[in-house]
Structure 1
């Protein structure tokens, strides 16, 4: 909300009270259908394998780019601008910002997974992020769901990358990863708990 206000968007916090009933329905739907169910594959399988080969930052960057491209069909069906109502020149910048947003969220989810060893927490974070972006933005729903939600996207993306910068600095690029603990856990046939 603060980011939207700073960006000059008129927000109405009063809208949120009417949306609270939507939060649980939205959360459950996203958990089982819209994103949360991706995490066992991305963070539970792919990330540990990548981190066996690469340091956490390049592993996350690679996974984040693949994850962003995985979302391109979804992004292409989500707004009017992707249904032939805009030219490539008009949608390319928005798509680029969406890709940056997804890659940034990958860093946050890597840190959560590495710091806790829990895929469930990554699932809940992914679900919570998507739920907040779809129901807890203090703007009319027709604005949130419209193709002209670029301000929301840019503010969210900048916020995510500020969090990523803080994580990279505070973890010295390790993003919660402990190679020693991960190696011992793997040799004993269990998931690392870092």
Structure 2
């Protein structure tokens, strides 16, 4: 029986690698459950009664509040920044969800990408509290605000 090999690594090695474990953890630790509930269940139902913008506001507030218990040990500035970012990301995720015809895949990928910042902070603890952290957060806030404006202008 033949062996599946990629870049000198067997399929078994790939499936049980740290990278595969990281991907499984990122998808199952937060994004999958959150997105099934927020974008997979709540968003379509809210959008039958209100605009994507208003639905994003409601989900953004709920999603930000959902994270408060895990933020309580952080400093106040980090808490406010995280809550604001979660709220603004709601607009990006609504835009991705609607733009993909209701698919959760792009939302899950973007959410996982956002959560990977935590992994980089574990690998490179020197980045925490640096300009890189501030710039990456501000960049996402700006993108989220722009997408929020786009979502607000969309019909529906």
TM-score clears 0.5: yes
Q: TM-score range by the shorter chain?
A: 0.7 to 0.9
Q: 1:102 aligns with which of 64, 86, 95?
A: 86
Structure 2 unaligned runs (5+)?
Answer: 1-16
Q: Is the 8 A contact 1:67 1:103 kept in 2?
A: yes
TM-score by length of 2: 0.73
Equivalences for residues 133-152 of structure 1 within 5 A: 133-136=117-120, 141-144=124-127, 149=129, 151-152=131-132
Determine the structure 1 residue equivalent to 2:26. Answer: 30
In the aligned structure 2, how far is the partner of 1:120 from the partner of 1:162? 23
Q: Tell me what 2:47 maps to.
A: 51
Q: Could you tell me which residue of structure 2 aligns to residue 8 of structure 1?
A: none
1:67 Cα deviation after fit:
0.3
Alignment map for 1:106-121 (pairs within 5 Å): 106-116=90-100, 117-121=102-106
Counterpart of 1:92?
Answer: 76
Partner of 1:69: 65
The verdict on how the C-alpha distance between 1:155 and 1:22 changes in structure 2, with shifts beyond 3 A counting, is: farther
Cα RMSD, aligned residues only: 2.7
Whether the 8 Å CA contact 2:91–2:151 is kept in 1: the answer is: no
Instruction: For residue 173 of structure 1, report the CA deviation from its aligned partner.
Output: 2.8
When normalised by structure 1's length, the TM-score is 0.60
